Structure 1
Amino acid sequence: MPNFFDQLPKAVVEEHFSDMLKTDSVRIERIVSKGHSSPQQGWYDQEDHEWVMVLEGCGTLLFEDGREVVLHRGDYIHIPAHVRHKVTRTDPDQLTVWLAVFFRDTA
């Protein structure tokens, strides 16, 4: 039986992204960070909605409107499609493990 925490990277030099499930309508991704942030320039501006939860560690999201959200273990947020955002900080001392679910509106 697969486990979400199996095969976490030992050394996290760069953020690690793994698709856990991918279909035409949904993608579930595991993201592992350790002191990472989004590139200084630019924003995530996604076609899909994103529901994201921090399973371990913590991370800070900044939205283009200036709102900042700190997520700790167990916290989650829904980010509608095209809401521009970025990660400004993840814990440098421990792994931050994210569960991200990307999906589109159905017609």
Structure 2
Amino acid sequence: MEYGNLYRAIPAQLPAEMAQVLAGAGPARIERIVSRGHCSPAGFWYDQPEREWVMVLKGEAALRFEQDDRLVRLAEGDYVDIAAHERHRVEWTAQHCDTIWLAVFY
């Protein structure tokens, strides 16, 4: 058995976004991602082979989708289900607090 707390064990210094695999089996995995003002590099797009369901537990962020240049703003409790190979990027995350994401890749 493994247990933990999604809001704890976050480093005081976070020079890069932090991703931590919490659980997984076969092609599925669950990650905690912590952002502190981080965003995708200019010109970079995620193009993942699996679906991603992601929720903001704390903080806020915005995702941009390449296909229609749609910007989706996420606040605490908001989630989005991203299709495989749907190119997207993290446009921004909150500067004033940690943004804690829960991501399920399947």
Q: Please say whether Structure 1 and Structure 2 have the same fold, judged by a TM-score greater than 0.5.
A: yes
TM-score, scaled relative to structure 2: 0.92
Out of 16-25 and 78-87, give the one that drifted further.
16-25
Residue of structure 2 equivalent to 1:81: 84
Matches of 1:66 and 1:93, distance apart in 2: 26
Residue of structure 2 equivalent to 1:41: 43
Is contact 1:30-1:98 (8 Å) kept? yes
Aligned-residue CA RMSD in angstroms? 1.0
CA deviations over 1:73-94 (Å, ceiling 9, x no partner): 0000000101000001000110
Q: Tell whether 2:104 aligns with 1:101.
A: yes
Find the partner of 1:72 among 56, 72, 75. 75
Residue of structure 1 equivalent to 2:18: 16
Matches of 1:81 and 1:62, distance apart in 2: 15
Instruction: Return the offset for 1:70.
Output: 0.3
CA deviations over 1:21-75 (Å, ceiling 9, x no partner): 1211311001000111001122100001000000000000000021000000000
Q: What's the % identity of the aligned pairs?
A: 47
Other structure's SS at 1:2 match: coil
